[in-house]
Structure formats: C-alpha cells, structure tokens
Amino acid sequence: MKPTLLVLAAGMGSRYGGLKQMDGLGPHGETIIDYSIHDAVEAGFGKVVYIVRESFKAQMEEAVKEKYAGVKTVDGEPLQFVFVTQELDKIPAGFTVPETRVKPWGTAHAVMMAAGVINEPFAVINGDDFYGKQSFKILGDWCRAHANTKGQYCIIGFELENTLSENGSVSRGICSYDAKGNLTDVVEHLEIAKEADGKVYGNNSANGKTHVELAAKALCSMNMWGFTPDYFAKSEKLFEGFLKENINEPKKEFYIPYVVDVIVKNGEGACEVLSTPSRWFGVTYKEDRPGVVAKFAQLVEQGVYPSPLY
C-alpha cells in the first residue's frame, strides 16, 4: 500500500500578499507544490490529497489536471488526485459558526477534512514550503513501515538554522524529545533570526523570555508530519472539545501540534522525531521570492531536478 500525501493549500498567505500555492517559481513556472509532488512520487507516494478553499477549488483542479496528466507512481500507475475543501461551516453537528468567525479553524481542522478519502498512512505538508528530497524519502519510508500500526505518528524535524528567512524574523516550534526520539513537547519561539554575531536568537512564548540564544541545530517543526489513519478519529474528538471551549473566540485555531501534544500526553499515541538534513525554504515574505527563484534555478543547474519538471 502506497502512502498518501496531504497538501495543506487552503491559506491565502496574508504576509506574502497572494495565493502562494499557484505562484510559478521554477525555471518553467513550476510551483513549490510541483516540486513537493515530484519528490513525493520518487519517495513512493501514490495519491495526493489537496485541502483547498471552495473559492479556488476549480482553478486548482484544472491546473492539476493539465499539469500532472502523465505522472506515474514508482510502479507505473497513474498518480491519484483528490480535492477536499476546508470551510468554516464544516464542523460537528450541534455547533453553529458564530457570525464573528472569519479566520479558518486551523491546520488540524484542515487535516480532518480528508478523513473520508484516506485509509492508509499519510504525510501532511504545507503547500507553500519546500522540504527537499531527503525529507520525503524519510517520510515515505516511515509511512510504509507503519502500514499496519495504530497510534504511531512522526514529525520531520529541520535544523533551525536551515529554516530561517533572509528577509525577516520567523516563528518556529522547537521540538523536545526523549531518549527514544519520541516527541515530548513543541515550544513556539517568535521573532527568530540570525544576528550579526552569527548566532540565532528568538523569543520563547512559553516562558516569556525575550532575545534568548537558540541552538542552531535544534530540531523544529515545519509542519511536515506522518500519521496512521486512526489519527482522524482522535482529532475529531479533540475538535469537539476545542469548540466547546473556544467556539466564541474568533482568533483561536485548532493546530496539529496541539492535537499531537494531547494524544501523546494522554498516552494514546507516540510521535517520533525524525531529523532531516534538508534545507527548508519558502516564501514567507514577498521579498523571499527572488531568492526562492534563484534556489530552484541552482537546483536545476546542479541536476537535482529536470527542467521543465513535468
């Protein structure tokens, strides 16, 4: 059974100023998602599930139909595509969306939308983040190794210094893990940047400390996860509890790290931290775009990717 790649592509990218998921950044107009799917296919994935908004679902479907028509999996089968929408009113029965709610319910809610179309181990990624070939290889191997297990999850941890932007500070969730390599906590740090002395600094949201030095090699979350399908039922149950407490809080979101944290601390599952040597990059800010274009051009020049990609 080949694993599935779930792509979170419902966000509009407020800081970037547009629909990043459709932005052509490669030498022949390839998007970041195009490169992620290319790497996922090489890593043995057989299906791609897009989480999108209804407002641009048709646009995305048409683009995918045209671009990936001839793409095959590693064993020669056509790559499957499924589109699922995330909307505010997709919540459990008995709850009503408040008029004050505009913000999406969050990444964990987005993943829940795929419960009816995924029955195998699956990976979750952001549609506007470049993760690198090795990361997909690590995640694909993990998914295949857990085809018949339950309550086993993983997170791909990127070295902090490999995730920074040259055009502004970033927020990152830094992972803590036990001697077995299982996740114990993810602590969000804000305003992270490398400074003139070459060291990395940020603000710890957990204890309120500001401008603390952070280990450059610390593993952080870039929202690249692996799950066994039992995750869906656990997540749905937790979402109901979240709504009971927060439905009238217009800015509260239901995030993947929160769900994993509760599952782990309740003893209902374990999340392995898998380190990747890959360097992340993305378009957090508009100013990041030229650098990303240059990075893809360099990867093509080095022979890492064909051009055109498809």
- pLDDT, residue 41, reads 98
pLDDT greater than 90 at residue 140: yes
User: pLDDT band at residue 285, thresholds of 50, 70 and 90?
Assistant: confident
Mean pLDDT of the chain, nearest integer: 92
Share of the chain above pLDDT 90, in %: 81
pLDDT greater than 70 at residue 125: yes
Worst-scoring range by mean pLDDT, 14-18, 59-63, 158-162, 199-203? 14-18
pLDDT for 177-187, tens place per residue?
999 999 999 99
Share of the chain above pLDDT 70, in %: 96
Q: Sign of torsion, CA 205 208 211 216? A: negative
- pLDDT, residue 19, reads 54
* Average pLDDT rounded to a whole number, residues 193-204: 94
User: pLDDT band at residue 167, thresholds of 50, 70 and 90?
Assistant: confident
pLDDT for 203-261, tens place per residue?
998 888 999 999 999 999 999 999 999 999 999 999 999 999 999 999 999 999 999 99
Query: Could you tell me which residue, 161 or 17, shows the higher pLDDT?
Result: 161
* Average pLDDT rounded to a whole number, residues 75-86: 94
Q: Are 33 and 125 in contact (CB under 8 A)?
A: no
Q: If DSSP codes are grouped into helix, strand and coil, which group holds residue 243?
A: helix
Q: Are 183 and 262 in contact (CB under 8 A)?
A: no
Q: If DSSP codes are grouped into helix, strand and coil, which group holds residue 22?
A: helix
User: pLDDT band at residue 303, thresholds of 50, 70 and 90?
Assistant: very high
Count of C-beta atoms within a 10 Å radius of residue 127: 23
Look up the CATH number of domain 4-157+221-301.
3.90.550.10
Q: If DSSP codes are grouped into helix, strand and coil, which group holds residue 224?
A: strand
- pLDDT, residue 12, reads 45
- pLDDT, residue 175, reads 96
Q: What is the DSSP letter of 306?
A: -
